[in-house]
Structure 1
Amino acid sequence: MSPAPPRPPLVAVVGATGTGKSQLAVALAQRYNGEILNGDALQMYDGLPITTNKLPLEEMKGIPHHLLGCVKLGEEPWTVKQFLKRATSIIEEIRSRGRLPIVVGGTHYYTQSLLFRDALVEEGESDDLTADAQREAWKLPDANAEEMLKQLQKVDPEMAMRWHPSDQRKIRRSLEIWLKTGKKASELYKQQRIQSKDPESDGWNRSARPNGSEDSARAHLRYDSLIFWIHAPSDVLNLRLEERVDSMVSHGLLEEVASMQSFLQDQEQQGDSIDQSRGIWVAIGFKEFLPYILDGSHREELRQKGIERTKIATRQYAKRQVRWIRLRLQRAVHAANLAHNMFLLDATDFSLWSDGVDAKAQDITAAFISGFALPKPDSLSDTAMKLLASPEEEAKSATYCEACDKTLMFHSQWINHLKSKGHRASKRPKIDWKTLYPKNNGY
């Protein structure tokens, strides 16, 4: 069978932190005349190579890397709009040189917004907030989940029902949408769903157009993309991440945190305030080690606590990254009819990297850029067969069980909870055995 006509390709490498994304991207760039575009938001900041886990220069193997260290420490943090503008321009430059653009990074929201024209809410936000909205937005970082949920219930009760009362990040995000756009998040998402089903729109619902549905779905792709998902199970990855944190500390992480804190103090002395809830200041390791940097006593105890907090935060971050891939990126991939171009590579055992990850990625990339048929993504491994299945997420609606003082987010969870022994026990009438069988006063 002759290959399909050549096409301008783009390769994206995604996965949790510590799975070897950068290593694979460099190998592909060496083999296929590529240049690498950074898709990690924190690695876009100048300096701080340890805190942001930048790839050492010697491991770049001479491959050009773009959008690394391009934002100064004191600059306003980038938005996704800024990233998209710079990234799309750089991709065109790479292609003009006849080279292969390879996007790699752990900020999967950035990568997804680059791959798909999916009208994310953030792209429609106004940068011009009213004074009242600005004041309210600044309060959010200090508000707890309960306070924010009460506010969200007032302005967007439909959206409030979707989030668990302790899911502070998602509750805050819904409030931010209201404050920044003046529109309810529930309404914006509803509009997007309607547009995706509109036969006249450039939508994602392939069933809406029996004719030309392939073209309709692929119209949402910015590029003809090949996606590699580097995956390792959490038990293996967690051990790997803990070892990496220990290595970062031994290679100067604490010194970098101290330099960041000194920079903050200098800015404050000059009368410049920096929002520490955004940008580089949310990098894992900074706030975790601040007590050690600021407190002159109990140094070793604070150091050990900082290490443990950093390890916990890193594990949680990796979990969130995988969750984004499963519930957001994969949904976009399936909606754009791109599932046949997304491959999971099992990086459980680094000793098997050459055959299990590198060789497979090289072969698939060669077929992709030549226009030959690709293997079935679920044929690469049992893990791929399991995790690449279409991610169907239940509609969320918080339901509170007063008897058990517990909130359930999905209908199936609620049904299972009602059948559980714990719930049945809590609903069972309590028997007052003392009243039923009083002491017989010695008889």
Structure 2
Amino acid sequence: MTAQPSPPIVIVAGPTGVGKSLLAIELAKKFNGEVLNADSMQLYSGLDIVTNKVTSEELSQAPHHLIGCLSPLTTDSTVGAYRQLAQPLLDRLLKENRLPIICGGTCYYIEALLWNILLEDGGNFTNDVDDIESELRDDPAQKSDPQELHNRLRAVDPEAAIRLHPNDRRKVARALQVNLRRGDGAYSSMLREQHRLGDHFSGPLRYPPDRLAILWLACRRDHLERRLDCRVDKMIQSGLLAELEAFHSEFNASRVGAGASKDYTRGIFQSIGFKEFHSYLLMSPEQRDSAEGQLALKSGIELMKQRTKRYAVQQEKWLRNRFLRHSDDNYAPVYLLNADSLVESDWTTGVRQPAFEIVEALLKSDQNILLKHSTRLATEPRGLVGSSSSLDDSESDSVRIGRSLELRCDHCGVTFAQRDQYKEHMSSRRHAKRMAGLRRLAARIAAGHSDPNAVVVIDRNAEAADGSEESAVDNNNDSGRSSSRAVTG
């Protein structure tokens, strides 16, 4: 008798607010499945409004795992810790012949479950950047400068230094830790081996590709932005501010008194809403009722809406640049679903019905149905979130970031993570002024002037011939002001 294959693994992915939880529950109810949360902020207990958790009614409709399982007061979730929690659950569901449905917007958590990526390698490694830095420093109480950390990495592993941007403090510290424990160049060697077995983005898939389905819920940007604005308004009406205030009070009582402080780059404080309403929550009740307080409230709401929309675009970008760009032998099949509308009839046609067909075909190994629904880069529809730029000829962000130190303007002392930022800088007023200053300085030295303020006549025709990139000045494109990923060093 032929052994029955294990159930497929279904991943429900897409930008925030697109309807991932709704589809995951519908799939779990129809196919005897269980939902594994892959949203980093929903791992924390409490704060149900700010993290937009599924409601108690929704939880009762299907088994859910990894929701509210960590204390936001004592724990900072990391991708390594998440994989240690989720992998045994995923494998258990497969063994019990239950359909695992991974659902969430933290795409690199999903990636860590499906592909072998460099997180742990049998050693006692931590993913907390402060713990790593305390191991690297002579004085554990002193915080390292990002450029200092990167310089140390360049000394022991130049290949890794080229790959990692100085501002990516966590990865730089992690690479340093690996090299410290395993020897110079160890991090790059491990990464090369991982890529040899997989592809440029990660190691090999953990599961057979014919047992995987990434259901990508996509939505036109204008539709999704209206939906997200309404969601923020609803969160405010549901008591978001009271929830934030209560947590701040609890945090202050438990941690600030012991010397801890709020860090909006770590843990639950990364949730959209904390930073945006910080100034408003610091006000007294009387101040909040004043004109200044109401302005701060209005500003916080608008900032939360803007950041939520930016986050949705970032999620979509990750899906495009990671899940769609794996090599053919390391590719988890992606199926695009049209989530433009949550109206029942539209949802059935665009999402529910094709999703049910895909999962049914996976269970029956019906390749014809799967082929009909499959999505690859060349056939991807345009007009969806984040799809305004062409993908066919452009490099992915991970490739650009992998070459970050090649994108450096030594004249201005700035390093860029993306090629378009570098090109923008090279045509900016800041760069042109810097180059003009350097040419004036060189002319003074050539003329034998010891006084740096001496007036020297420069041949403008010769200056223009030096290169068009130095004379093309765009008054509106100073990447030194606009690029948050640039670092001076």
Alpha carbons of 1:87 and 1:222: their partners in 2 closer, same or farther (altered >3 Å)? farther
Question: Does 2:7 align with 1:8?
Answer: yes
Matched, 1:251 2:238: yes
Equivalent of residue 357 in structure 1, options 351, 365, 371: 351
- CA gap of 1:251–1:130, structure 2 versus 1, over 3 A, is closer
Q: How does 1:31-430 map to 2 (within 5 A)?
A: 31-60=30-59, 62-120=61-119, 126-127=125-126, 129=132, 131=134, 133=136, 148-149=146-147, 151-156=149-154, 168=167, 170=168, 172-182=169-179, 188-189=187-188, 191-197=190-196, 203-204=197-198, 224-268=211-255, 271=258, 273=260, 276=263, 277-296=265-284, 297=287, 298-331=292-325, 333-334=326-327, 336-339=329-332, 341-351=333-343, 352-373=346-367, 374-376=370-372, 377-378=374-375, 382-383=381-382, 393=396, 394=399, 396-397=403-404, 398-400=406-408, 430=460
- The question of whether the paired residues in 1 share the 8 Å contact of 2:339 and 2:351 is answered with yes
Instruction: For residues 386-416 of structure 1, give each alpha carbon's deviation from its aligned partner in whole angstroms, at most 9, with x where no partner exists.
Output: 8997995355244355899986666798789
Structure 1 CA distance for aligned equivalents of residues 47 and 83 of structure 2:
23
- Three-state SS of the structure 2 residue aligned to 1:236 is helix
Task: Provide the rounded CA distance (Å) in 2 between the counterparts of 1:105 and 1:33.
Answer: 19
The residue type equivalent to 1:53 in the other structure is N
Cα distance in 1 for residues equivalent to 2:304 and 2:56: 25
Larger RCO (CA under 8 A, 6+ residues apart):
1
Q: Following the alignment from structure 2 to structure 1, what is the Cα–Cα distance between the partners of residues 217 and 341?
A: 12
Q: Secondary structure at the match of 1:37?
A: strand
Q: Describe the shift of the 1:310–1:264 C-alpha distance in structure 2 as closer, same or farther (beyond 3 A).
A: same
Say which SS state the counterpart of residue 36 (structure 1) adopts: strand
Aligned-CA RMSD value: 4.3
Q: Secondary structure at the match of 1:101?
A: strand
| TM-superposed deviation, 1:363 | 0.5
Distance between the aligned counterparts of 1:136 and 1:242, measured in 2?
46
Shift of 1:28: 0.9
**Alpha-carbon contact 2:153-2:176 (below 8 Å) kept:** no
Amino acid at match of 1:337: N
User: Identical aligned pairs, as a percentage?
Assistant: 31
Measured in 1, the distance between the counterparts of 2:152 and 2:194 equals 27
Give the whole-Å Cα distance in 2 for the aligned partners of 1:265 and 1:154: 36
> In 2 relative to 1, CA 375–430 (structure 1 residues): closer, same or farther, beyond 3 Å?
same
Name the SS of the counterpart of 1:308 in structure 2. Answer: helix
Report the TM-score, using the length of structure 2 for normalisation.
Answer: 0.69
The 2-side partners of 1:42 and 1:123 are apart by: 27
Q: How far apart are the structure 2 equivalents of 1:129 and 1:408?
A: 25
Local SS of the residue matching 2:375: helix
Moved more, 219-228 or 385-394: 385-394
1:204-260 deviations in Å (ceiling 9; x for gaps):
259xxxxxxxxx965665993211111223333223222211111111110111011
Shift of 1:318: 1.8
Q: Which runs of 5+ in 2 are unaligned?
A: 437-457, 462-489
Is residue 2:23 matched to residue 1:24? yes
TM-score (norm 1): 0.75
| Contact 1:229 1:345 (C-alpha < 8 Å) held by counterparts | yes
Q: Secondary structure at the match of 1:382?
A: coil
Say which is worse superposed, 152-161 or 418-427, in terms of deviation. 418-427
1:271/1:415 CA distance change after superposition, 3 Å = closer
Is the CA contact 1:230–1:345 (under 8 Å) kept in the aligned structure 2? yes
Question: How far apart are residue 337 of structure 1 and its match?
Answer: 3.3
Shift of 1:61: 5.6
Give how far 1:290 is off.
1.9
CA distance in 2, matches of 1:272, 1:411: 41
Is 1:94–1:101's contact at 8 Å kept on the other side of the alignment?
yes
Give the superposition deviation at 1:187.
5.9
Distance in 2 (alpha carbons) for counterparts of 1:60 and 1:328 = 30
Consecutive unaligned residues in structure 1, runs of 5 or more: 198-202, 207-215, 432-443
- Matching residue's letter, 1:265: N
Higher mean alpha-carbon deviation, 266-275 vs 70-79, is at 266-275
Instruction: Kindly provide the amino acid, as one letter, of the partner of residue 174 in structure 2.
Output: I
Q: 1:280 to 1:360 in 2, by over 3 A?
A: same
Provide, for residues 331-360 of structure 1, a one-character-per-residue CA deviation record: whole Å limited to 9, x for no partner.
4x5365334x21121222334221011111
Amino acid at match of 2:341: D
